């Protein structure tokens, strides 16, 4: 009798653990890039091939850093930075709600709680060939998907 009860308990605990993990993920979407194909690429690969990805739509992951002036996606060991340029043309809302990515009222008057977290973004790559030294040589704009 004990073994069947133990199996039920283990199954319940595994189900609870899996469902808890899936609720932690937050996805913000915009319909501004509907119908576009996004090439999944690593930040290192993107940084190495900026001219190739210029004007292309990509999905890329990295460490998101923001302040009141700028947002940037950073690769491992603070390498491969790319600017993140959000647009009013692509309003981002938390899936299933009308809570916006920049909705200060739902974030206690603070920036979106994505700072210093790994995120996945979808948007268009813009290559800045003549960028100043020590500044990102590209940006990802028209962001239509943010996964925290």
Q: What is the mean pLDDT of the chain?
A: 81
Residue-wise pLDDT tens digits, 90-131: 999 999 898 888 886 766 666 667 888 999 999 999 998 776
Q: What is the pLDDT of residue 76?
A: 78
pTM for this prediction: 0.76
Of 125, 134, 108, nearest in space to 43 by CA: 125
E-assigned strands of the chain?
27-29, 39-40, 57-66, 71-74, 82-85, 93-94, 117-127, 138-147
Domains of the chain by range and CATH?
Answer: 25-147 (2.40.50.140)
The upper half-sphere exposure of residue 41, i.e. CA atoms within 13 Å in the direction of its Cβ, equals: 22
Which residue, 58, 66, 51, 22, is CA-closest to 37? 58
Q: Which residues contact 129 (CB under 8 A, 6 or more apart)?
A: 51, 137
């Amino acid at each position: 009798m004990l073994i069947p009860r133990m199996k039920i308990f283990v199954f319940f605990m595994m189900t609870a653990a899996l469902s808890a993990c899936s609720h932690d993920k937050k996805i913000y979407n915009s319909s501004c890039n509907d119908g576009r194909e996004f090439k999944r690429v690593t930040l290192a690969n993107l940084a190495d091939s900026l001219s190739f990805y210029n004007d292309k739509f990509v999905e890329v992951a990295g460490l998101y850093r923001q302040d009141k002036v700028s947002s940037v996606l950073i690769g491992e060991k603070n390498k491969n930075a790319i600017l993140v340029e959000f647009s009013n043309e692509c309003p981002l809302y938390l899936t299933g709600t009308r809570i916006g990515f920049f909705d200060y009222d739902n974030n206690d008057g603070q920036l979106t709680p994505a700072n210093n977290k790994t995120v996945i973004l979808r948007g268009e790559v813009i290559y800045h060939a003549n960028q100043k030294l020590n500044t990102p040589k590209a940006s990802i704009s028209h962001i239509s998907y943010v996964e925290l």
